[in-house]
Structure 1
Amino acid sequence: MAKEHEYTCRIDWTGNRGDGTRTYRGYDRTWDVVTPGKPTIHCSNDPLLGGDPTLPNPEDLLLASLSSCHMLWYLHLASSAKIVVHRYTDDPIGVGEVHADGSGQFLRATLRPTIVVAEGTDIPQAEAIHHEVNRYCFIARSVNFPVTYVPTFKIAVC
């Protein structure tokens, strides 16, 4: 039987310059993500839509969530398979499109992790684990666009 989990946060719009949304250009597209007991994340809209380029936007956060979830499950499954991972970094790419009416969506994402493994690691087995992750990762199981993996493996220098 499936077991439900709840996740909570508060989104607090911080972009009111004094007149609210009286005019389209009269407010900032900024907000805070407040999760109980955790640091606040200051956010903004995509810079293409007038957001602050120094702050994360929803698209950044979705891609980071997807990559992080994949990483955590990869590490779990690698550990279970007795594959020793010493370092894991990812430089994912998300591709989206914006339609003429302003609506948009992600078309695809490619995770591009670089994984440093112990000498003697079975690299084909380590690579195969990436294809098992989608069975477990909440985020990957929830998105409606394809996610692909292009891992690079390196052997740890001891």
Structure 2
Amino acid sequence: MTEHSYSSRIAWTGNRGDGTRSYRGYDRTWDIITPGKPIISCSNDPLLGGDPTLPNPEDLLLSALAACHMLWYLHYASSDGLVVTAYQDSPIGIGETAPSGAGRFLKAILKPHIVVAVGSDLAAADAIHGRIHAVCFLARSVNFPISCEATYATA
């Protein structure tokens, strides 16, 4: 095994002047700052008073899971000789919130739509998904089930 690390910096941007003096007196916004990369402005879940126009932690986790799955899918497709010409995903995360306010994901459903070359074996294309969770860094790191409901087109 080889150990490696990742780093990021978050900076709260929601101080309206009085900090957290009152619960409604500050914004739940921050920036993700990774050296040499674009800054990503974020907010809390709109259900908790966040800005609905900005990504929240739940959006970011769901998107990261889908992106990791996609990258492994493209890798396996290339290795298997399957030509993929387009890939998009509209994943859905299902969560719950306890009366105490504690929340968690119950499951994630990936819904990739994949365009493959005409004449491709769609059963083989679909079988790739079953191999991914054994290697995907993020799928192996979360404690909730992730399923995949892929659709295909040829071009």
TM-score (norm 1): 0.97
The match for 1:154 is 153
Q: Give the gaps of 5 or more residues in structure 2.
A: none
> Percent identity, aligned pairs only?
65
Aligned partners of 2:4 and 2:150: how far apart in 1? 31
Q: After superposition, what is the alpha-carbon deviation per residue over 1:98-117, rounded to whole angstroms, capped at 9, x for unaligned?
A: 10000000000000000000
Q: Which runs of 4+ in 1 moved over 2 A?
A: none
Aligned partners of 2:36 and 2:135: how far apart in 1? 26
The match for 1:45 is 44
The match for 1:69 is 68
Q: Give the gaps of 5 or more residues in structure 1.
A: none
Aligned partners of 2:153 and 2:4: how far apart in 1? 36
CA shift for structure 1 position 5: 1.5
The match for 1:129 is 128
Q: After superposition, what is the alpha-carbon deviation per residue over 1:127-146, rounded to whole angstroms, capped at 9, x for unaligned?
A: 01001011111111101000
CA shift for structure 1 position 8: 0.6
Alignment of 1:20-99 (within 5 A): 20-99=19-98
Q: SS state of the match for residue 80, structure 1? A: helix
Aligned residues: 155
Superposition CA RMSD, Å = 0.5
Q: Which amino acid aligns with 1:35?
A: T
CA shift for structure 1 position 87: 0.3
Aligned partners of 1:76 and 1:69: how far apart in 2? 11
Work out whether 1:142 is the aligned partner of 2:141.
Answer: yes
Alignment of 1:105-116 (within 5 A): 105-116=104-115
Aligned partners of 2:10 and 2:122: how far apart in 1? 42
Aligned partners of 1:20 and 1:31: how far apart in 2? 13
Aligned partners of 2:78 and 2:3: how far apart in 1? 26
Aligned partners of 1:39 and 1:132: how far apart in 2? 32
Work out whether 1:12 is the aligned partner of 2:4.
Answer: no
Q: Which amino acid aligns with 1:97?
A: E
CA shift for structure 1 position 36: 1.0
